[in-house]
């Protein structure tokens, strides 16, 4: 069955960014001039997925406005001849079919995915976390869809992290099948370093068979008292195979202040209009700090 839908859980509080996230979703934070969530939506579109199911919560209205058609703004840009900007603004809202569902209670990532069940129905679907941007020559979702076509089972993208970072992620224990493809034997959410079965961390891109919903319904609260997606995948493993695809993409975790700053710097350094000025500024800062 073809993969046609992506679920983007975006209901989190964004506590690490308070007070900025009191009324503004962290997914709308700009990476210079594009909100984080737009990068993820573009990744879905690149992979041919236009039905985007946002699982939202309180204070997430700006996301709805962002993907809506803003005729006033379009008229304004047209009247002042800003055609490039106009094209940019028009494109994204016309290319996707956004669907919004409220997660009434924040019971965890697993619960957020389960909330999307009535819209997803009984078909395979993608889940993309709303604060992880991937940069790769090849679209990771497309690669995952290829693996799904071959095996007909769920596929999870993983990347190698340093040992000290394993406790920040879901970690898999997988058996190597062929280049970059593993079959998962076990997985654990945010293990202690000494308990981690590997350094292969779940990156925030999943492709599920609809059976995951059955498992989410019976997943008890886990780490942090939340219904964890990782725990539901573990239950799924008892019934059907789950594959992992190891990616070498650059992973930007915009969900922490440090990750957010690094993402902005990296993207700015790749822009011709900003690069030279930024390098000059960073150099001046380094000189200043070395003089202290
Ligand atoms: C979530 C998942 C975790 C995954 C991570 C990737 O954790 O629960 O398995 O490795 O995203 O960013 P969170 O970062 O939301 O706590």
Mean pLDDT of the chain: 93
Answer whether 9 contacts ligand 1 (Cβ < 6 A).
Answer: no
Mean pLDDT of 31-55: 96
What pLDDT shows up at residue 292?
59
Question: Which amino acid residue places its CA nearest to atom 5 of ligand 1?
Answer: 169
Q: What is the pLDDT of residues 153-202, one digit of tens each?
A: 999 999 999 999 999 999 999 999 999 999 999 999 999 999 999 999 99
The verdict on the CB of residue 147 being under 6 Å from ligand 1 is: no
Measured CA to CA in angstroms, residue 288 lies from 265, 274, 275, 280 at distances of 19, 21, 20, 12
Of 94, 120, 107, 91, nearest to 6 by C-alpha is: 120
CA 204 to centroid of ligand 1, rounded, Å: 6
Regarding the beta carbon of 204 and ligand 1, being less than 6 Å apart is answered: yes
Q: How far is the CA of 247 from the centre of ligand 1 (A)?
A: 16
For residue 170, the CA-to-ligand 1 centroid distance in Å is 6
pLDDT in tens, 240-272: 999 999 999 999 999 999 999 999 999 999 999
Mean pLDDT across 100-111:
94
Report the distance separating Cα 222 and Cα 188, nearest Å.
10
- Exposure string (b/e) for 166-175, b if CB count within 10 Å is 16 or more? beebbbbebe
Residue 13 pLDDT exceeds 90: no
How many C-beta neighbours within 10 Å does residue 257 have?
A: 11
The β-bridge partners of 134 are 251
- Could you give the count of Cα atoms lying within 13 Å of 168 in the half-sphere of its Cβ? 13
Q: Report the atom number in ligand 1 closest to the C-alpha of 253.
A: 12
Q: 141 - beta bridge partners? A: none
Q: What is the pTM of this model?
A: 0.94
- Decide: 170 in ligand 1 pocket, CB within 6 A: yes
247 lines ligand 1 (CB under 6 A): no
Give, using CA atoms, the residue closest to atom 15 of ligand 1: 109
| Ligand 1 atom 9: residue of nearest CA | 170
Residue with the larger pLDDT of the pair 136 and 30: 30
Residue 134 in contact with ligand 1 by CB distance below 6 A: no
Which ligand 1 atom minimizes the distance to the CA of 255? 14
Which ligand 1 atom is nearest residue 189's CA?
A: 9
């Amino acid at each position: 069955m073809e993969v046609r839908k992506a679920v983007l859980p975006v209901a989190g509080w964004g506590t690490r960014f308070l007070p900025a996230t009191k009324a503004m979703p962290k997914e709308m934070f700009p990476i210079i001039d594009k909100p984080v969530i737009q990068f993820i939506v573009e990744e879905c579109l690149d992979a041919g997925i236009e039905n985007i199911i946002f699982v939202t919560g309180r204070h997430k209205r700006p996301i709805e406005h962002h993907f809506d058609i803003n005729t006033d703004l379009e008229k304004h840009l047209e009247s002042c001849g800003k055609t490039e900007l106009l094209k940019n603004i028009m494109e994204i809202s016309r290319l996707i079919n956004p669907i919004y569902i409220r997660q009434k209670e924040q019971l965890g990532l697993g619960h957020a995915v389960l909330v999307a069940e009535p819209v997803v129905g009984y078909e395979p679907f993608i889940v993309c976390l709303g604060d992880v941007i991937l940069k790769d020559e090849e679209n990771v979702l497309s690669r995952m869809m290829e693996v799904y076509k071959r095996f007909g089972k769920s596929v999870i993208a993983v990347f190698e992290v340093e040992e000290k970072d394993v406790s920040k992620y879901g970690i898999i224990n997988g058996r190597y099948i062929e280049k970059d493809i593993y079959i998962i034997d076990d997985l654990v959410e945010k293990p202690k370093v000494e308990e981690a079965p590997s350094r292969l961390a779940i990156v925030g891109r999943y492709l599920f068979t609809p059976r995951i919903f059955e498992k989410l319904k019976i997943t008890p609260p886990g780490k942090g008292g939340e219904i964890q997606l990782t725990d539901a995948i573990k239950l799924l493993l008892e019934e059907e195979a789950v594959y992992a695809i190891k990616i070498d993409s650059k992973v930007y975790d915009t969900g922490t202040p440090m990750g957010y700053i690094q993402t902005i710097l990296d993207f700015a350094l790749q822009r011709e209009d900003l690069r030279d000025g930024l390098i000059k500024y960073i150099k001046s800062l380094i000189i200043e700090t070395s003089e202290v």
